[in-house]
């Protein structure tokens, strides 16, 4: 397990020095803080607490943004190393191929988890200062962060798989963007279409089976 942990730690250290990862954290924090500042506007109409409104808004943001970030983090995990010639050097050490893949996967998931926790955590801190503790809403906020990381891990795995299969970094980037379009944008549009087809009622089991 030592080579696996070494690769994971190395990947995480590289990510922490990467300005793109820092920019991702800042973008998540900025968007989350914007939702916090705007989240209190509809509460007088719907009777929901600001924390609840922010959690719902962040959930919508997570669905679109976190998968894209995860794919951009991982699409060149293997193929990028191969193009730079560092993959052969890495495999020259006493390390198994699965340890390389799993180590990079874990490193990318940890990077994404850190960016999500810091970005959404900044929003949580502002909410706590402004609204105080709400025993009913804060567990939902924590669950949002956890599920966001799990969603990101799924797409990191998909990006890593693409990076293993394709042979060129540019091709991997194109496939990653295509996956995001199909699994996020088009999939949501398909579910919305099924909901409309059900005449605004609960989507039937048959429709869900067809969608999957």
Environment class of 48 (CB within 10 Å of its CB; exposed 0-12, middle 13-18, buried 19+): middle
Q: Is residue 48 part of a domain?
A: yes
Residue 212 pLDDT > 50: no
* Residues 105/74, Cβ–Cβ less than 8 Å: yes
Chain segment 45-96, per-residue pLDDT in tens: 555 566 777 788 888 888 888 999 999 989 988 998 888 888 888 888 888 8
Backbone Cα Rg of the chain: 20
Q: How far apart are CA 201 and CA 212, in angstroms?
A: 19
Two tokens at 119? 């970005």
Residue 188 pLDDT > 60: yes
Number of domains composing the chain: 1
Question: Which pLDDT does position 133 carry in this prediction?
Answer: 54
Q: How far apart are CA 135 and CA 120, in angstroms?
A: 18
Helix %, strand %, coil % of the chain (to 5): 85, 0, 15
The residue whose two tokens read 């599920």 is 147
Q: Is residue 185 part of a domain?
A: no
Two tokens at 63? 């669905």
- Find the range with the poorest average confidence among 38-42, 121-125, 139-143, 185-189: 38-42
Q: Is residue 203 part of a domain?
A: no
DSSP structural state of residue 198: T
Alpha carbon 211 to its chain's center: 22
Share of the chain above pLDDT 70, in %: 81
Q: Is residue 202 part of a domain?
A: no
Q: Is residue 22 part of a domain?
A: yes
Q: How far apart are CA 3 and CA 1, in angstroms?
A: 6
Question: Which pLDDT does position 162 carry in this prediction?
Answer: 94
Domain that holds residue 163: 2-168
Chain segment 21-44, per-residue pLDDT in tens: 788 888 888 888 887 777 555 545
Q: Is residue 56 part of a domain?
A: yes
Q: What is the pTM of this model?
A: 0.82
Q: Is residue 135 part of a domain?
A: yes
Pick the closest to residue 50 from 172, 141, 180 (CA basis). 141
DSSP structural state of residue 94: S
Q: Is residue 89 part of a domain?
A: yes
End-to-end CA distance of the chain: 37
């Amino acid at each position: 397990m030592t080579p696996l942990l070494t690769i994971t730690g190395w990947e995480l250290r590289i990510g922490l020095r990467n300005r793109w990862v820092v920019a991702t954290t800042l973008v998540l924090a900025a968007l989350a803080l914007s939702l916090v500042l705007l989240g209190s506007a509809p509460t007088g109409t719907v009777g929901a607490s600001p924390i609840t409104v922010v959690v719902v808004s962040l959930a919508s943001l997570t669905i679109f943004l976190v998968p894209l970030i995860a794919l951009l983090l991982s699409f060149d995990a293997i193929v990028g190393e191969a193009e730079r010639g560092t993959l052969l050097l890495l495999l020259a050490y006493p390390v198994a191929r699965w340890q390389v893949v799993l180590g990079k996967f874990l490193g990318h998931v940890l990077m994404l988890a850190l960016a999500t926790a810091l970005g959404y955590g900044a929003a949580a801190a502002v909410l706590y200062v402004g609204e105080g503790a709400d025993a009913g809403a804060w567990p939902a906020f924590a669950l949002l962060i956890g599920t966001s990381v799990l969603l990101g891990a799924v797409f990191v795995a998909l990006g890593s798989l693409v990076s293993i299969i394709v042979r060129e970094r540019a091709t991997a980037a194109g496939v990653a963007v295509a996956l995001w379009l199909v699994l996020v944008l088009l999939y949501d549009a398909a579910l919305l279409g099924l909901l409309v087809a059900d005449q605004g009622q609960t989507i039937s089991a048959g429709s869900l089976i067809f969608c999957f």
